[in-house]
Amino acid sequence: MDALLRWLSSGASVGAVGTGIAFVFSVFQFLTVKKRESRQQEFEKYHWLIEHLVSPDDQGHVFLDRQIAIAFELRHFPRYYECTERILSRLRESWNNPGAYSRLLREIDLTLEHIKKSK
């Protein structure tokens, strides 16, 4: 115990402890900023996908294959599953035209199934 007290009371050890604390604080700050940036990027990507799922392109067409890919990609956003489930369920009801949208409806069903299994 005496050795520990002598080490703590020496000037070199105080500097080392201070440096260690500063390092840990810097790492914590860095990780906090990175997490915030990651969540913001995820938010932007998710909303971009939703917008392109339901909006036509500049010519007024909605491309089925793009929508199918987006319905699949929505599986990669577990933070938004609750909202995604509601959006896809409503879209499925409003797009319930099996001939025109059968592939898209199938992909929506698969994504909804994935979300339900993941809960």
Give the 3-state secondary structure of residue 97. coil
Contact assessment for residue 87 and residue 55, using Cβ atoms and an 8 Å cutoff: no
Instruction: Give the residue from 104, 107, 102 showing the smallest Cα distance to 63.
Output: 104
d(CA 110, CA 62): 20
Question: Which helix (H) or strand (E) covers residue 112, if one does?
Answer: helix 98-118
The range of the structural domain enclosing residue 51 comes to 2-118
pLDDT tens digits, 7-58: 556 655 667 777 878 888 898 999 999 999 999 999 999 999 999 888 877 7
How many angstroms separate the first and last alpha carbons of the chain?
52
pLDDT of res. 113: 95
pTM, two decimals, is 0.68
Tally of domains in the chain: 1
